[in-house]
């Protein structure tokens, strides 16, 4: 039987989604707050990440240590993360502790202390995170790749910049909180061994009287250049390639996803086979699909020894350009098996289901059923993927490299 997904949008614009999973004893909650790094002011990049850390350092009647103890005493596996569009607060615990966890998150989201005496420590941690990027060349090239793939502020990285973090003040942080942490547009998704009506009542008590609308307006800057090289004396050259795809709501979405999984996803995929196994050009090579509401990209990465870097890029681009020539039935079968495995594992995870509920609601305005997704995966064929790739061939590549010498591509 297909699990029922419950939904309620409160008068203040906050949406609650829930799915009951009777076979588990846990429950996961997932808040998507429209406070992503896209809203960081251009001169204070990193503000969203600092705010997400600071917001859990005391809330309601509890100071920072008391709040941490209260969360830990519930056995809550939790995290806070800043994406482009949202700041995500996630937690999972035994189902009986869910009401108490919701109480704590109501304080965190509605009544944070944002203490002055913690700001310097939070900024110092943010600067350490940013400095660590210099020791992670793969992450660094991918950050730079995004800057050349999207106009500002879609190109923002949650880590921000040294200058932006150093400019942050207590007043500016609080102003950003008041601007973005509002109920209208906020999504709370819950999955696990829950009862809908008690959950609805509890969330209504905790959040129903909260009012306000977040200021989520932004203006796109000009399109960036699609080539860049960062010179650095490394033993390996880092290569990033991006090209346009179709977003999740598009009729070709599943064919686009299938094509990416033909490229990358297992040890039989084209990039692994052609770039790594046949030619021994690099150890790490992959492609992944990334979507926003109105646009999507395929992001490719390879890390290769300097003397083999140009050949690595050449073969990578060759495989991308070869996709419109068609895919084989056995490739589609492997893609279907991999996508179904991921889907089944997601269905069995309360955290995965909570995230999927919120993601679907944000991107599509509805929640896809397991049967719908499975039918779409079953419907993939060499013909459908090939036709999609001929309509939307990989082209107009954005290429960013990091290493001693630039490459030609």
- Tell the residue number behind the tokens 């350009």, with chain if given: 321
CATH code at 301?
A: 3.30.830.10
What is the pLDDT at residue 267? Answer: 85
Pairwise CA distance, residues 179 & 174, whole Å? 9
* Same domain assignment for residues 63 and 178: yes
Express as a percent the part of the chain with pLDDT over 70: 100
The residues with which 290 forms a beta bridge, in sequence order, are: 297
Task: Give how many domains the chain has, as a whole number.
Answer: 2
* Same domain assignment for residues 58 and 128: yes
* Same domain assignment for residues 78 and 106: yes
pLDDT of 357 > 70? The answer is yes
- Residue 129: count other Cβ atoms within 10 Å of its Cβ: 16
* Same domain assignment for residues 242 and 370: yes
Range of 177's domain? 5-207
pLDDT tens per residue, range 86-126: 999 999 999 999 999 999 999 999 999 999 999 999 999 99
* Same domain assignment for residues 199 and 232: no
When mean pLDDT is compared across 208-222, 336-350, 390-404, the lowest value belongs to 336-350
* Same domain assignment for residues 254 and 154: no
Whether 260 is covered by a domain: the verdict is: yes
Query: Once rounded to an integer, what is the mean pLDDT over residues 200-209?
Result: 98
Of 187, 248, 196, 186, nearest to 3 (Cα)? Answer: 196
Full-prediction pTM beyond 0.75? Answer: yes
Whether 408 is covered by a domain: the verdict is: no
Pairwise CA distance, residues 123 & 166, whole Å? 7
Domain end marker among 145, 178, 207:
207
What is the pLDDT at residue 346? Answer: 78
Whether 219 is covered by a domain: the verdict is: no
Whether 57 is covered by a domain: the verdict is: yes
How many H-runs (helices) and E-runs (strands) does the chain carry? 15, 11
The string of DSSP letters for 226-261 reads SEEEEE---SEEEEEEEEEE--TTSTTHHHHHHHHH
Sign of CA dihedral 102, 105, 110, 111: positive
Question: What phi and psi values does residue 294 have, to the nearest 5 degrees?
Answer: -115, 5
* Same domain assignment for residues 200 and 87: yes
Q: Which residue blocks in 208-328 are alpha helix, DSSP H?
A: 253-263, 270-271, 309-322
Whether 120 is covered by a domain: the verdict is: yes
Whether 92 is covered by a domain: the verdict is: yes
Domain end marker among 207, 238, 269:
207
What is the pLDDT at residue 1? Answer: 57
The CA angle 28-32-33, to the nearest 5 degrees, is 140
What is the pLDDT at residue 305? Answer: 95
pLDDT tens per residue, range 38-68: 999 999 999 999 999 999 999 999 999 999 9
Query: Once rounded to an integer, what is the mean pLDDT over residues 204-224?
Result: 96
What is the pLDDT at residue 283? Answer: 84
Domain end marker among 141, 173, 207:
207
Question: In Å, what is the CA distance from 290 to each residue of 84, 248, 294, 369, 406?
Answer: 12, 9, 11, 21, 26
Whether 217 is covered by a domain: the verdict is: no
* Same domain assignment for residues 203 and 233: no
* Same domain assignment for residues 238 and 96: no
Question: What phi and psi values does residue 47 have, to the nearest 5 degrees?
Answer: -60, -45
pLDDT tens per residue, range 285-310: 999 999 999 999 999 999 999 999 99
Question: In Å, what is the CA distance from 121 to each residue of 177, 183, 388?
Answer: 18, 29, 50
Of 291, 205, 310, nearest to 253 (Cα)? Answer: 291
Q: Is the peptide bond before 153 cis (omega within 30 degrees of 0)?
A: yes
Whether 216 is covered by a domain: the verdict is: no
Grade residue 280 by pLDDT with cuts at 50, 70 and 90: confident
């Amino acid at each position: 039987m297909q699990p029922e997904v419950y939904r309620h949008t409160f008068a203040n614009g906050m949406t609650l989604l829930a799915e009951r999973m009777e076979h588990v004893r846990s429950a996961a909650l997932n808040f998507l707050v429209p406070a992503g790094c896209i809203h960081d002011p251009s001169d204070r990049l990193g503000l969203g990440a600092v705010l997400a850390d600071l917001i859990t350092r005391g809330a309601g009647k509890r100071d920072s240590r008391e709040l941490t103890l209260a969360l830990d005493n519930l056995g809550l596996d939790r995290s806070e993360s800043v994406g482009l569009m949202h700041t995500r607060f996630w937690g999972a615990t035994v189902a009986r502790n869910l009401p108490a966890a919701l109480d704590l998150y109501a304080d965190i989201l509605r009544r944070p202390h944002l203490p002055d005496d913690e700001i310097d420590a939070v900024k110092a941690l943010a600067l350490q995170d940013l400095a660590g990027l210099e020791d992670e060349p793969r992450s660094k090239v991918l950050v730079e790749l995004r800057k050349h793939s999207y106009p500002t502020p879609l190109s923002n990285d949650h880590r921000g910049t040294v200058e932006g973090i150093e400019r942050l003040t207590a007043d500016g942080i609080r102003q950003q909180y008041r601007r973005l942490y509002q109920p209208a547009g906020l999504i709370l998704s819950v999955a696990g061994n829950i009862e809908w009506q008690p959950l609805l009542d509890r969330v209504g008590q905790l959040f129903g009287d909260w009012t306000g609308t977040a200021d989520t307006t932004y203006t796109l800057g000009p399109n960036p250049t699609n080539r860049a090289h960062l010179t650095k004396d490394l033993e390996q050259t880092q290569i990033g390639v991006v090209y346009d795809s179709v977003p999740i709501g598009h009729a070709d979405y599943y064919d686009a996803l299938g094509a990416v999984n033909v490229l990358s996803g297992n040890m039989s995929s084209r990039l692994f086979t052609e770039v790594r196994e046949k030619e021994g050009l690099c150890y790490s090579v992959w492609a992944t699909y990334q979507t926003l509401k109105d646009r999507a990209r395929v992001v490719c990465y390879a890390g290769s020894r300097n003397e083999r870097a140009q050949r690595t890029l050449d073969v990578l681009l060759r495989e991308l350009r070869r996709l419109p020539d068609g895919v084989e039935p056995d490739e589609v079968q492997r893609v279907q098996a991999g996508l179904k495995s991921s889907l089944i594992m997601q269905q069995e995870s309360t955290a995965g289901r909570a995230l999927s509920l919120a993601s679907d609601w944000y991107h599509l305005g509805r929640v896809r059923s397991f049967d719908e997704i499975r039918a779409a995966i079953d419907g993939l064929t060499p013909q459908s993927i090939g036709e999609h790739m001929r309509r939307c061939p990989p082209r107009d590549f954005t290429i960013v490299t990091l290493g001693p010498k630039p490459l030609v591509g």
